[in-house]
C-alpha cells in the first residue's frame, strides 16, 4: 500500500503493461522473444560483439566513481537484451535499467522543461506553477506504481517497465525521502515556471536551437555526446546554454556546461565570446551565469582526451572496443556507496570477500 505521505504524489495506473503481467509466464516469455525477433528483422538490427566507442561527461563520472560499475554499464550489459544472452549480461542489462526516486524527479522536471521550451518558442504562454507541478507528479506517480506492481514484468522486459532501485532491492522509501521529494517537486515547479529564461526565449529575434536533444561532435576521432537541457540564440546574438538542476550545488556541473560550450563551438562554429551558460538550481532558487574563454575550452577538450586515454587503458583491443575481463575493473574503495549502485546484485558476493581498504584520515 502506498503510504499516506505520498498523497501529494498519488497513484495512477501503470499503462497497458498490466495485461501482459497477468499472463502465463512461459507464454509471456515466448511472446517477448518472438516479438523481439520480429522487431529485429524489421528494424535492420545488426548485432555487434562489442559496443561502439564514444565518450560523454556522464561516462567519465561513472568511470571515476567506480571502474566496475563502468564495466557493467558500458560493456557487461552489452547484448544483454537478446533472448539468449548469457545470464550475467542479461542481469547487467536489467540492472542498468533501474532508476531511483531522485533521478525520476530530475527526469520529470526535464520532460516538463522541454514541453515548456517548445511552448514558449511557439509564442504560447508558459505553464503555471501548478500545471508544471502536476506534470512532474504524474511522472512520479507512474514510476511509483510501476515499481510497486510490476516487478515480475520488469524481470521479463526491463526496457519497457520503470523500476525504482529502492523497490527492486526491497529498501522502499523512508518518510523523510518522501517528504523531501514532495517538497522538491513543488519547489522546482515554481522555480521553473518563473525562470527569467522564458522571457529571453520568448523575445523577438530569439531562436530555439535544441531542447533535450542528443547530439554528438568529434574530438580527436571520438564521438562525444552532448545533451544540453536548452540551447537557444538570444535576441542579442548570444548562444545561451541552460541546465536545470534539482539537487545541490556541485562544481562538476560547471564542468559539464563547459563541455556543452565546447560542443557549441565545435558543432555550430560559434565563437566563445558569443557563448553563455546558465545553471539553474531550482530547488535552491539559485542561478549561476557562466562564460568561457577559448583557452578554457581548449583545456576542457584536453581533459576529455585524457579521460578517453585512461578508459582505453582498460581495453584488451582498442580497435574493437573490447574490454579486459571484469577483474581488471576494480571495485571502488568508497564501499558505502555500493548498496545504492544499480549493479550491487552483481557485486554483492565479491564485496563480502573483498573488504574495502581502510580510509585515510
Tell me: do 188 and 222 sit in the same domain.
Answer: no
* Separate counts of helices (H) and strands (E) for the chain: 14, 9
User: What is the helix (H) or strand (E) element at residue 120, kind and residue range?
Assistant: helix 101-121
Residue carrying C-alpha cell 507512474: 142
Give the residue among 292, 286, 341, 360 at the shortest CA–CA distance from 73: 341
User: Number of C-alpha atoms within 13 angstroms, CB side, residue 124?
Assistant: 9
Asked, for residue 327, whether it belongs to a domain, the answer is no
Torsion angle, alpha carbons of 104, 110, 114, 120, to 10: 130
Is the domain of 229 the same as that of 140? no
Residues of the domain holding 210: 197-312
Same domain flag for 189 and 229? no
Contact 333, 357 (CB under 8 A): yes
Does 204 share its domain with 268? yes
- Which residue in 157, 162, 151 sits closest to 35, CA to CA? 157
Total domains in the chain come to 2
Q: Stretch 273-291: mean pLDDT, rounded?
A: 96
* pLDDT more than 70, % of the chain: 86
Q: Other CB atoms closer than 10 Å to residue 343's CB: what's the count? A: 22
pLDDT tens profile 92-129: 999 999 999 999 999 999 999 999 999 999 999 999 99
Instruction: Say yes or no: 64 and 172 in one domain.
Output: yes
* Three-class SS state of 9: coil
Claim to verify: residue 156 and residue 205 sit in the same structural domain: no
Q: With respect to residue 211, please indicate whether it lies within any of the assigned structural domains.
A: yes
How far does the chain reach from its first CA to its final CA, in angstroms? Answer: 44
Across the chain, mean pLDDT equals: 89
Stated pTM of the model: 0.85
Q: Are residues 182 and 308 in the same domain?
A: no
> How confident is the model at residue 354, as a pLDDT?
78
Nearest to 197 by CA among 244, 158, 162: 244
User: Where in 168-299 does DSSP place strands (E)?
Assistant: 207-211, 215-219, 222-226, 230-233, 239-245, 275-281, 286-291
Note whether residue 249 is domain-resident.
yes
**Do 165 and 60 reside in the same domain of the chain?**
yes
Residue keyed to cell 522543461 = 113
Q: Is residue 308 part of a domain?
A: yes
From 158, 193, 228, give the residue that closes a domain: 193
H or E stretch covering 323:
strand 322-323
Q: What is the pLDDT of residue 45?
A: 79
Query: What is 28-51 written as a DSSP string?
Result: HHHHHHHHHHHHHHHHT----SSP
Q: Which of 312, 327, 345 is the last residue of a domain?
A: 312
Tell me the HSE value of 205 on the side-chain side, using a 13 A CA sphere.
Answer: 7
* Judgement on whether residues 170 and 221 belong to the same structural domain of the protein: no
Separation CA 105–CA 152 (nearest Å):
24
- The answer to whether position 328 is within a domain reads no
Is 279 inside a domain boundary?
yes
Q: What is the pLDDT of residues 24-81, one digit of tens each?
A: 433 344 444 444 544 554 467 789 999 999 999 999 999 999 999 999 999 999 999 9
pLDDT computed for residue 211 by the predictor: 97
Outline where 122-229 has alpha helix (H): 129-149, 151-156, 165-168, 175-193, 197-202
Taking a C-beta distance cutoff of 8 angstroms, is the pair 158, 97 a contact? yes
Cβ burial of 278 (10 Å; 0-12, 13-18, 19+) is: buried
**Distance (Å, rounded) from C-alpha 261 to C-alpha 280?**
16
In this structure, the chain runs to a length of 361
Claim to verify: residue 301 and residue 246 sit in the same structural domain: yes
The 10s digit of each residue's pLDDT in 340-351 is: 999 999 999 999
Say how many C-beta atoms besides its own lie within 10 A of residue 118's C-beta.
13
Q: Is residue 342 part of a domain?
A: no
Q: Spell 94-112 as b/e; 16+ CB within 10 A means b.
A: bbbbbbbbbebbbbbbbeb
- 65 and 185 housed in the same domain: yes
Query: pLDDT tens across 202-231, in order?
Result: 999 999 999 999 999 999 999 999 999 999
Q: Say how many CA atoms lie within 13 Å of 314 toward its Cβ.
A: 22
Domain-ending residue, one of 148, 165, 193: 193
Q: What is the CATH number of the domain that holds 252?
A: 3.90.320.10
Residue 335 lies in a domain: no
Rg, the chain, Cα only = 22
Give the pLDDT band (50/70/90) at residue 170. very high
Query: Do residues 180 and 238 share a domain?
Result: no
Distance CA 194, CA 197 (A): 9
Amino acid at each position: 500500500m502506498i503510504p499516506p505521505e505520498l498523497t501529494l504524489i498519488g497513484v495512477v495506473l501503470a499503462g497497458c503493461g498490466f495485461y501482459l503481467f497477468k499472463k502465463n509466464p512461459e507464454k509471456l516469455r515466448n511472446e517477448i522473444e518472438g516479438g523481439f525477433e520480429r522487431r529485429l528483422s524489421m528494424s535492420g538490427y545488426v548485432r555487434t560483439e562489442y559496443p561502439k566507442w564514444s565518450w560523454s561527461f556522464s561516462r567519465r563520472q561513472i568511470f571515476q566513481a567506480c571502474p566496475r560499475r563502468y564495466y557493467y554499464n558500458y560493456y557487461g550489459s552489452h547484448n544483454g537484451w537478446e533472448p539468449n544472452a548469457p545470464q550475467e549480461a542479461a542481469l547487467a542489462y536489467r540492472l542498468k535499467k533501474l532508476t531511483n526516486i531522485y533521478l525520476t524527479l530530475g527526469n520529470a522536471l526535464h520532460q516538463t522543461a522541454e514541453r515548456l521550451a517548445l511552448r514558449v518558442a511557439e509564442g504560447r504562454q508558459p505553464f503555471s506553477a501548478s500545471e508544471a507541478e502536476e506534470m512532474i507528479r504524474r511522472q512520479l506517480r507512474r514510476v511509483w506504481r510501476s515499481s510497486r506492481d510490476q516487478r515480475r514484468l520488469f524481470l521479463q522486459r526491463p526496457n519497457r517497465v520503470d523500476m525504482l532501485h529502492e523497490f527492486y532491492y526491497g529498501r522502499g522509501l523512508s518518510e523523510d525521502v518522501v517528504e523531501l521529494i514532495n517538497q522538491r517537486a513543488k519547489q522546482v515547479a515554481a522555480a521553473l515556471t518563473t525562470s527569467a529564461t522564458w522571457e529571453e526565449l520568448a523575445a523577438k529575434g530569439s531562436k530555439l536551437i535544441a531542447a533535450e536533444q542528443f547530439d554528438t561532435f568529434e574530438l580527436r576521432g571520438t564521438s562525444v555526446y552532448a545533451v544540453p537541457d536548452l540551447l537557444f540564440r538570444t535576441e542579442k546574438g548570444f548562444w545561451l546554454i541552460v541546465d536545470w538542476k534539482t539537487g545541490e550545488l556541485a562544481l562538476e556541473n560547471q564542468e559539464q556546461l563547459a563541455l556543452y560550450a565546447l560542443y557549441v563551438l565545435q558543432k555550430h562554429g560559434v565563437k566563445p565570446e558569443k557563448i553563455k551558460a546558465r545553471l539553474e538550481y531550482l530547488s535552491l532558487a539559485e542561478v549561476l551565469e557562466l562564460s568561457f574563454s577559448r583557452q578554457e575550452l581548449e583545456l576542457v577538450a584536453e581533459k576529455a582526451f585524457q579521460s578517453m586515454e585512461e578508459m582505453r587503458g582498460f581495453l584488451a583491443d582498442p580497435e574493437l572496443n573490447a574490454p579486459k575481463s571484469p577483474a581488471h575493473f576494480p571495485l571502488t574503495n568508497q564501499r558505502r556507496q555500493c548498496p545504492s549502485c544499480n549493479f550491487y546484485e552483481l557485486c554483492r558476493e565479491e564485496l563480502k570477500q573483498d573488504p574495502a581498504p581502510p580510509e585515510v584520515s
